[in-house]
Amino acid sequence: SRARLLSLVDAAGCPFFFPARAVVPSPGARGSVSCGGVVRAMDEAPPLPPALERQTTEAREQFLIDYSTQRAEERAEISLTEGWEICREYGVDVLTKHLMDGMVDRNPFGNRGYTSLYSISFMMTAQANTPDQSRPIYDNVGNVVETFLKDKVIPQLLDTQLVGTPLIRHFSKSWENHKILTKWMKMLFLHIDVGYVTNNNVATLTSLCLSKFLNVAFGQTCERVRQGVMELINSERAGNQIDREQIKSCIEVFVVMGLTQINQNIRAVSEISKMPPRLEVYETEFETFFLDASHSYYDHISSGWRDELSVADYLERCETVLREEKNRVHGYLHPSTERRLLLRVEEVLLSVPQADLVNRTNGGMYSMLVEERDDDLARMFRLFTREGVKDQEAPMTVLFEKFVHDQGMALLKARQAEVQRLEAEGKKETTADPTMIIAMIALYRKTEQRVQKLFGNHLNFHKAMRNAFQGFVNQTATPKYSNADLLVAYCDALLKGKERSEKLDENSIEERLEGAMHVFYYLNDKDDFAALYRDYLSKRLLGSKFASMEMEKAMITKLKQNQGPPFTAKIEGMVQDHQMIRDVVRGFEEHCEKSAVNLPLPASVQELTVGWWPQQPAIKVNLPKALGDFTQIYEKYFKDRTSGNKRLAWIFALGDAEVVGTFPKGKKYTIAVTTLQAVALDFLGGQNTPISCTQIMESLGTDIETTKRVLHSLSCGKHKVIQKSGPGGKGKINEEDVFTPSSEFQSKVPRGFVEAWADTPFTTLAPVPLPLVVVSSANSRSPWQAWTTLDKSRPRLGKTAASPLTPPWSAS
């Protein structure tokens, strides 16, 4: 004989050990006889107990203990028929009765009863010199499970009166019972799994029992269970409470059955959740039908929602549904269903009605944009960019582009209306009003913020925004000024340190320039902007009207970053020339001191590269002697300095001076004027009688149009330095008009200036010397420009006194 130590685990998970002896009788031993290869004990077996239903647990347990102990002590063999009958009646039948009665004890046999049952089943397969009974026991396990399913489970599940919730409850309970049954069958016949199954490459007892449920119970009830599950899910969708655990249990069957079909090596029910799933059965027998049913459910119910709810409320309802469906998957469906389910729901709720929802006149996306309903817009974007929506964000971007374009066109129309109002009042349109440009910048910032915060910074919304801005930024409100003109004028005002009447610090200038660059980005003709910008920059630099050179450089950096170095090469050259003014002036002064040159008037010169600065038309003029002598002195100095490789071309239209004059009322004024104005005043101051426009033109040597402009600025402005009479009428210059110094001129301030165009008020002048303009050019590839200042002291208006001043010339 031999003794084995068996390790068992009771239902509570507590291991315990007991000795089980398998006795191999000696040949011819007393009390035994060989019959058909089966060794049977000759001694009387213990009497069988009464019927099972009349037994108590203690009585059954005691019988099993007595039976197994006696067989072990007598080393008696247990026949297959006898042993299986005991295992069936005291093991399987007890277990199934407990399950059917709903009494799921942790151990329905008692610990000693369980160990006795195991000992009996083990001794049936561990008898020496007898055929192995493992295969019949293995088959009996399968048969008894199948019989239980057919007799006790299937009839109730096929009951036509059992539908809906009762059916699902019963099926769920049957499945949970079957898992318990499977666990105990494995524990009662563990030695079969350890020995026979391993050695013969057959399905484990767990796989065997699960396959029985698949083939017997599941196959016949699958359709009814599936229908019941979907009914309960729809009930939950309608807002009713359901038992999710029952649904989860039913869904688990579909998953486990797929695993059972192809895996015969499942060792325990508890291991199923840890094994890689096989979802063939789940997908074909449940998921496909479930997805179609879900599509039909939401297709039916969503049409009513769209009729009853606003777009915003409908989208909020859809978002709630998608969240609930996701939770539903997490609650009791297999995770693999989540994506496919959401795709189907998104298709029917969002993709199909998308065009109607976005373009709906009342409450659609356009209305949301107008009413600034940011939460609704963000929700619409989130929903329509989900995977199940066919067109994604495309319909939204189309409407978004239209909305932004409409907003921009409204700004153009507002400027048109303002210009019409000015014309009706007899006023002229100017570039000084920055209202439209400021509004465009505000529109850009608001639109950009929406794209970033509401639309996920999506590239297609940026494209829509770009298309919209390009559409209206490149249209003009009026024929006179393009948006490039207005934008350059706005930048010019900022770089002078102001916006409208507000003075700005550097941080404010930087912030507003950044906004202006956003509008600049959408201009198509950026070369036109560059040309205009150079004109305005030249005025700021030559007149020292810029707020900060650092801001000028910062603006150039922005332009360079946006368009590249070639775009700003000339602009940077202008700044470079301006920064060399002091060196040029100092060099000329040192030359004059060294050479003992007596200048006819204090003056300074700024030399500028022709290729960098805006081209100006050369205007011929007969200079007063002092100014003419000064230009000859500087030309000789310039020629000596450059070895004659460059030549000067003087453009007096850009020069300026300060004229000191005493008017008849006895007051003395210092007046800032352009060079041409100074020459005209010098000529008129020497005349005792009125002189005509034609005579002035001949004396100055200028063309008629230039002469008219100069005389208009001096006689038709708010502050009339000279008097006009003749057929020209108010505000106009005729060739027959005659002019004399004004005997009525007076001002509240002793220093002021007269603009080149006479529609700027007489303002206080800072006593800072600034250059009169003289332009130089060269016969080489790198010509130069020079700007000079004039100072000629005379006691009265006609005897010009000039000191440096900013040239207020207009863009050519």
Question: Is 735 contained in some domain?
Answer: no
Q: What are 176's two structure tokens?
A: 């949970």
Q: pLDDT digit string (tens) for 44-99?
A: 444 544 454 445 778 888 888 988 888 888 877 888 899 999 999 999 999 998 88
β-pairing, 38-41 with 722-725?
unpaired
pLDDT of residue 271: 87
Q: pLDDT digit string (tens) for 496-521?
A: 999 988 999 999 999 999 999 999 99
Residue 206 CA to residue 286 CA, distance in Å, equals 24
Does residue 715 surpass a pLDDT of 80?
A: yes
Share of the chain above pLDDT 70, in %: 84
Confidence band, pLDDT 50/70/90 cuts, at residue 7: very low
Contact 685, 802 (CB under 8 A): no
803 and 679 inside one domain: yes
Q: Considering only CA atoms, which of 97, 90, 227, 197 is closest in space to residue 137?
A: 197
Helix, strand, or coil here: 670? strand
Confidence band, pLDDT 50/70/90 cuts, at residue 209: very high
481 CB burial (10 A radius; 0-12, 13-18, 19+): middle
Contact 621, 700 (CB under 8 A): yes
Does residue 760 surpass a pLDDT of 50?
A: no
Enumerate helices (H) and strands (E) in the chain, giving the number of each. Answer: 32, 14
Q: pLDDT digit string (tens) for 537-552?
A: 998 988 888 999 999 9
The Cα-based distances of 807 to 539, 588, 654, 657, 812 in angstroms read 7, 21, 6, 8, 14
pLDDT of residue 618: 78
Which of 579, 613, 630 is the endpoint of a domain?
A: 579
Among 107-116, 314-323, 531-540, 691-700, where is mean pLDDT lowest?
A: 107-116
Helix, strand, or coil here: 108? coil
Question: Is 783 contained in some domain?
Answer: yes
Does residue 788 surpass a pLDDT of 70?
A: no
pLDDT of residue 562: 93
Which of 97, 131, 165 is the endpoint of a domain?
A: 131
Question: Is 615 contained in some domain?
Answer: yes
485 and 504 inside one domain: yes
Global pTM reads 0.75
103 and 182 inside one domain: no
Residue 326 CA to residue 565 CA, distance in Å, equals 54
Residue 341 CA to residue 336 CA, distance in Å, equals 9
Residue by residue, DSSP assigns 537-552 as HHHHHHHT--S-HHHH
Does residue 34 surpass a pLDDT of 70?
A: no
Contact 620, 764 (CB under 8 A): no
Residue 683 CA to residue 797 CA, distance in Å, equals 10
Among 202-211, 605-614, 769-778, where is mean pLDDT lowest?
A: 769-778
Q: Considering only CA atoms, which of 391, 390, 366 is closest in space to residue 311?
A: 366
Confidence band, pLDDT 50/70/90 cuts, at residue 631: confident
Q: pLDDT digit string (tens) for 405-416?
A: 999 999 999 999
Residue 369 CA to residue 137 CA, distance in Å, equals 76
Residue 790 CA to residue 804 CA, distance in Å, equals 6
Question: Is 728 contained in some domain?
Answer: no
193 and 248 inside one domain: yes
512 and 634 inside one domain: no
In total, how many domains does the chain have? 5
556 and 664 inside one domain: no
111 and 137 inside one domain: no
Q: pLDDT digit string (tens) for 648-677?
A: 888 777 777 888 877 766 577 888 888 888
Domain that holds residue 792: 586-687+744-812
Question: Is 463 contained in some domain?
Answer: yes
pLDDT of residue 381: 98
Residue by residue, DSSP assigns 706-773 as HHHHHHHHHHSSSS-SEEEESTT-TT---TT-EEEE-SS---SSSEEE--SSS-S----------PPP
Mean pLDDT of the residues in the chain: 82
pLDDT of residue 763: 30
Residue 47 CA to residue 50 CA, distance in Å, equals 9
Residue 49 CA to residue 63 CA, distance in Å, equals 7
Residue 729 CA to residue 736 CA, distance in Å, equals 11
Mean pLDDT of 284-290: 95
Confidence band, pLDDT 50/70/90 cuts, at residue 285: very high
Kindly give the residue spans of alpha helices, DSSP state H, lying in 192-310: 198-200, 205-212, 219-237, 244-262, 280-282, 288-308
pLDDT of residue 135: 93
Contact 780, 645 (CB under 8 A): yes
Contact 221, 160 (CB under 8 A): no
- Phi and psi (nearest 5°) for 320? -65, -45
Which of 244, 268, 292 is the endpoint of a domain?
A: 268
pLDDT of residue 666: 59
Among 206-220, 289-303, 370-384, where is mean pLDDT lowest?
A: 206-220
Sign of CA dihedral 623, 627, 632, 634: negative
368 and 458 inside one domain: no
Angle at 203 between CA 198 and CA 205, to 5 degrees: 90
Question: Is 357 contained in some domain?
Answer: yes
Q: What are 244's two structure tokens?
A: 């999710």
Confidence band, pLDDT 50/70/90 cuts, at residue 16: very low
29 and 163 inside one domain: no
Q: What's the one-letter identity of residue 493? A: A
140 and 246 inside one domain: yes
208 and 98 inside one domain: no
Confidence band, pLDDT 50/70/90 cuts, at residue 804: very low
Q: Considering only CA atoms, which of 2, 112, 116, 114 is closest in space to residue 69?
A: 116
Does residue 4 surpass a pLDDT of 80?
A: no
Sign of CA dihedral 8, 11, 16, 17: negative
Does residue 713 surpass a pLDDT of 70?
A: yes
Bigger pLDDT: 471 vs 771: 471
In sequence order, what are the residues at sequence separation of 6 or more whose Cβ sits closer than 8 angstroms to the Cβ of residue 275?
Answer: 259, 263, 266
Q: What are 150's two structure tokens?
A: 């057919």
Mean pLDDT of 314-342: 96
Q: pLDDT digit string (tens) for 448-491?
A: 999 999 999 999 999 999 999 999 999 999 999 999 999 999 99
Answer left, alpha or beta for residue 643, where phi above 0 means left and psi between -120 and 50 means alpha: left
Mean pLDDT of 291-320: 96
Question: Is 729 contained in some domain?
Answer: no
Q: What are 56's two structure tokens?
A: 């108590």
373 and 419 inside one domain: no
Among 51-55, 157-161, 573-577, where is mean pLDDT lowest?
A: 51-55
**Tell me, what CATH number does 299's domain have?**
1.20.1310.10
The Cα-based distances of 692 to 682, 695, 698, 729 in angstroms read 15, 5, 10, 14
Residue 573 CA to residue 607 CA, distance in Å, equals 12
Question: Is 618 contained in some domain?
Answer: yes
